[in-house]
Structure 1
Amino acid sequence: MSDRPPTSGLSEAELSDRLRSLAARSATPAPAAGALVRGRAVRRRRARRALLTTAGLAGAAAVFLAFGTPRSTAPRPATTSVPTPAPVQQVLIDLDAHTLTVQGRSFAISAPEPHCPIGERAVTVTAKYPVVNLAPNDIGVGRAGPRNWAVTFTDRANQQRLLLFELTPADLPDVGEDHILGAVGVAPASGRAVYDAVQVGAQVRIAGGQQSEKPLSNAACIDRQPVKGGS
């Protein structure tokens, strides 16, 4: 021990308090350098994750604003289209003007004789035959035999009858007149063109003519007799 007196004027109690305080400070270990480095790395990773999360949320918000609600990827049900039906062909037979009009073309015809009218104003074409053979009538009047390029319809009695056919060159004077026994005769050399133009199922309107006080029977009017399968 030194014989020198204490340099400070501290009392024994104050000196004791200071010594205890220094002992408590020396008991708290200083953080190691490695721990400080690891702590800084953890804080940097947490800050980076927070930054990325914020950026991702901002990007998703921008996409939503630009494109709206995401569309569903579920397959849509298949739709079936219904085809539009083709328009029905319209044909006009004018017995007063002696013309037949189809597809914008007009053809000269011979109309029915007043005592052998067609008897219909609107008919539907039911069949076509290159040749139809007709039997003579009961009174021996009129030309029997074949009718070329024949177009038929079904009347109210459910009988298939001639609507039109091609006249022969010998019948040329009848074009423009009313001499056919119950049908329409198309001018010679035009029958095939009319036959090809008029479609089965066509709706035919018959205008004019057909005035008779005493129409004859179908048996007397050769061109009004029933047609069976183009016989």
Structure 2
Amino acid sequence: MSDQPSPRLLTEEELSARLRGLAAHGAVPAPTTGAQVRSRVRRRRRGRRVLLSTGALAAAALIAVTSGALTSSAGQPAPPAASPADPSPADPPPAPVQQVTIDLDAYTLTIEGSTFRISGLQESCPIGETTVTVTAKYPSLTMPPNKFSSLTGIEVKQWVVTFTDRDQQHERLLMWALDPAAGLTAIGRNAGDGAIALSPEDGKRVYDAIRPGARVEIKGWQAASADPDTICSELQPVTGAR
């Protein structure tokens, strides 16, 4: 422990005297009174406290911002990258329309690469269409009565395919299968009363193969007009029991 005495604190008068001496030599502006000296000392102390407080606050803010950024970056996973929207599935292409060809001059019907023999049409009983769309199919169909019904009785046709005509918007007979009891005499000649006929075996095969909505092209010669339905019974609208 040092034996030297502690430095003595200067009194206010001594401090003022020293400051005036320094001011006289141009070191600091000379305070005029002790009160001015005390005021200047207090201002210096407050300035140092303000500087220290401002520096501390700035450092604290910097630490908080840095710490928050680091916590956000390290503590939370980065959001997943946006994946491109899955493309909507394309609509399936429409099913191709089934094509059927009836050749009245060659007495043939062609469907899906297979050709069958048919009967043709009487000159006075044309179908009256060159392109039709299949409307419906019936395993058996009771035809509307006509003037011959009283002689021949109720006529029931087998494996019937129909269409809807453009003029009257009536469902009409397009093709049917001959009854085995009727023989095959109509095949290969003009005998139909407004529709074509197939043999019993071929009629069932065509009936099974053809679909509603099929497009049927009718080729060959047809008369421009027809006799009334009382004669061309197969031109009558399809009604009654199926």
Alignment TM-score, normalising by the size of structure 2: 0.61
The residue number in structure 2 matching 1:73 is: 81
After TM superposition, give the deviation of residue 217 of structure 1 in Å. Answer: 1.4
The residue number in structure 2 matching 1:147 is: 157
The residue number in structure 2 matching 1:113 is: 122
- Residue 114 of structure 1 aligns to which amino acid in structure 2? E
After TM superposition, give the deviation of residue 114 of structure 1 in Å. Answer: 0.9
Equivalent residue for 2:236, pick from 220, 225, 229: 225
Aligned length: 159
Report the CA distance shift for 1:222/1:143 in structure 2 as closer, same or farther (over 3 A): farther
After TM superposition, give the deviation of residue 145 of structure 1 in Å. Answer: 0.6
- Residue 154 of structure 1 aligns to which amino acid in structure 2? T
After TM superposition, give the deviation of residue 224 of structure 1 in Å. Answer: 1.1
After TM superposition, give the deviation of residue 190 of structure 1 in Å. Answer: 1.0
The residue number in structure 1 matching 2:59 is: none
User: Conserved in 1, the CA contact under 8 Å of 2:144 and 2:239?
Assistant: no
CA distance in 2, matches of 1:228, 1:136: 10
- Residue 75 of structure 1 aligns to which amino acid in structure 2? S
CA distance in 2, matches of 1:83, 1:117: 39
After TM superposition, give the deviation of residue 189 of structure 1 in Å. Answer: 1.3
CA distance in 2, matches of 1:117, 1:111: 9
Over residues 114-142 of structure 1, what are the superposed CA-to-partner deviations in whole Å (9 max), with x where a residue is unaligned?
11110100000010000111134225688
After TM superposition, give the deviation of residue 82 of structure 1 in Å. Answer: 1.2
Structure 2 counterparts to residues 5-24 of structure 1, below 5 A: none
Structure 2 residue 134 is matched with structure 1 residue 125: yes
User: Conserved in 2, the CA contact under 8 Å of 1:132 and 1:146?
Assistant: yes
Percentage identity across paired residues of the two chains: 44
The residue number in structure 2 matching 1:15 is: none
CA distance in 1, matches of 2:153, 2:111: 27
CA distance in 2, matches of 1:142, 1:149: 20
User: Conserved in 2, the CA contact under 8 Å of 1:125 and 1:203?
Assistant: yes
User: Conserved in 2, the CA contact under 8 Å of 1:142 and 1:181?
Assistant: no
CA distance in 2, matches of 1:131, 1:86: 28
Structure 2 residue 100 is matched with structure 1 residue 91: yes
CA distance in 2, matches of 1:190, 1:149: 10
CA distance in 2, matches of 1:172, 1:178: 13
